[in-house]
Amino acid sequence: TLFQHNSAARALFDEIDRLRPGTSNLCFFGTEEALGETQNTQPCLFACELAAARALQSAGVRPDMAAGFSLGEIAALTIAGSVSLASGFELVTRRGELMQADAQKAAGAMVAVIKLDAGTVDALCREFDHAYPVNYNCPGQTGVACLKSELPAFADAVRAAGGRAIPLKVGAGFHSPFFREASRGFALALQQHLIAPPAIPLYSNYTGLPYEKDYALLLSRQICNPVRWETIVQNMIAEGADTFFEAGPGRVLSGMIKKIDPKVRTFCIEEYADLESAVKECRPC
């Protein structure tokens, strides 16, 4: 693993454990139930993403621009130098606590709708009282949050339109109006932290554009509004990005990026072997 073989990743987890004792143990040995609680998911994912990013930096890979999906936006904010590691971790931990509280109030769920364009999905959502397009992922894939009680009827409507609704293993209907209270609470939490202009272009989930100002406003609003991932990636490519590094667990974002533009290169940095392979392949550039 990166933790075992990379000193920068190990140092990152040591720092995280000083901020929240037991976090690294939860990352590596936590039960599925414990890791499934968003108050644990968010700090653990943040730690893993930052560890992978630090490992990349220690190997000489420096980003020209940055973006993160959902809570990953705070990891990107940290890598871009807008907040300290301590502030970033405190923010993502508070974000998880606030969202956990809202998740327990509304019986929400999420599905990935595939084989339909975003406009069709938007129209289907408008036919329901509590169905919202929340993740514009890539062509032919849109994440939708809805009440569990509406999920069967919504899935039927998707099938009737020629698509598929794939249930997601998440604890709530994230990035929807179900999380307005968490958004307001996070806006207050952000007031306690200094957010500096990023050292590199940093893209907002809420707008799909690089941050220019209003960092706290954009970060709080993304909690109850859609993630515009496809727009973010398109804009990064338009600004010259041709190689993307996905730092942290999984390969989902890389798959989305390839569907947005098959010509770009993607590397997933989860294990030490991933880091070695990526650095070797990218060394000429």
Distance between CA atoms of 275 and 268, rounded to whole angstroms? 8
Residue 50 in domain: yes
Q: Are 128 and 154 in contact (CB under 8 A)?
A: yes
Q: Are 205 and 69 in contact (CB under 8 A)?
A: yes
Contacts of 16 (CB under 8 A, 6+ apart): 23, 24, 43, 47, 50, 85, 89
Tell whether 95 and 113 lie within a shared domain.
no
**Which among 94, 27, 58 is positioned nearest to 248, based on CA atoms?**
27
Pairing of strands 265-269, 243-247: parallel
For 210-222, give the DSSP string: B--S-HHHHHHHG
Question: Per-residue pLDDT averaged across 233-251, rounded?
Answer: 97
Tell whether 99 and 11 lie within a shared domain.
yes
- The CATH number linked to 121 is 3.30.70.250
Residue range 102-115, pLDDT digits in tens: 999 988 999 999 99
- The CATH number linked to 87 is 3.40.366.10
pLDDT for res 171:
84
Instruction: Tell me the pLDDT of the chain averaged across its residues.
Output: 95
pLDDT for res 282:
83
pLDDT for res 36:
85
Q: Among the three residues 140, 167, 194, which one is the final residue of a domain in this structure?
A: 167
Which tokens is 218 given? Answer: 């954009």
pLDDT for res 39:
87
- Determine the longest span between alpha carbons in the chain, in angstroms: 54
Distance between CA atoms of 81 and 197, rounded to whole angstroms? 8
Task: For residue 2, name the pLDDT band (cuts at 50, 70, 90).
Answer: confident
- Could you give the number of structural domains in the chain? 2
Question: Per-residue pLDDT averaged across 86-103, rounded?
Answer: 95
Tell whether 112 and 99 lie within a shared domain.
no
For the chain, report the end-to-end CA distance as a whole number of angstroms: 26
Residue 162 in domain: yes
pLDDT for res 158:
98
Tell whether 14 and 128 lie within a shared domain.
no
Only one residue has tokens 């609704």, namely: 165
**Which among 267, 273, 263, 235 is positioned nearest to 254, based on CA atoms?**
267
Tell whether 140 and 73 lie within a shared domain.
no
Class of residue 17 by CB neighbours under 10 A (exposed 0-12, middle 13-18, buried 19+): middle
Cα R_g (the chain), whole angstroms? 18
pLDDT at 126 over 70: yes
Tell whether 34 and 78 lie within a shared domain.
yes
Residue 37 in domain: yes
Tell whether 248 and 195 lie within a shared domain.
yes
Distance between CA atoms of 122 and 134, rounded to whole angstroms? 10
Task: For residue 38, name the pLDDT band (cuts at 50, 70, 90).
Answer: confident
pLDDT for res 227:
99
Q: Is 197 helix (H, G, I), strand (E, B) or coil?
A: coil
Tell whether 120 and 253 lie within a shared domain.
no
Return the percentage of the chain with pLDDT > 70, whole number: 99
Tell whether 6 and 32 lie within a shared domain.
yes
pLDDT at 283 over 80: no
Tell whether 64 and 114 lie within a shared domain.
no
Residue 196 in domain: yes
Query: Mind spelling out the 3-state secondary structure of 7-50?
Result: HHHHHHHHHHHHHCCCHHHHHHHCCHHHHHCHHHHHHHHHHHHH
Tell whether 249 and 232 lie within a shared domain.
yes
pLDDT at 168 over 80: yes
The range of the structural domain enclosing residue 129 comes to 108-167
Task: For residue 37, name the pLDDT band (cuts at 50, 70, 90).
Answer: confident
Distance between CA atoms of 87 and 234, rounded to whole angstroms? 29
Residue 172 in domain: no
Q: Are 204 and 66 in contact (CB under 8 A)?
A: no
Distance between CA atoms of 67 and 62, rounded to whole angstroms? 14
Residue 129 in domain: yes
Task: For residue 4, name the pLDDT band (cuts at 50, 70, 90).
Answer: confident
Tell whether 53 and 115 lie within a shared domain.
no
pLDDT for res 284:
55
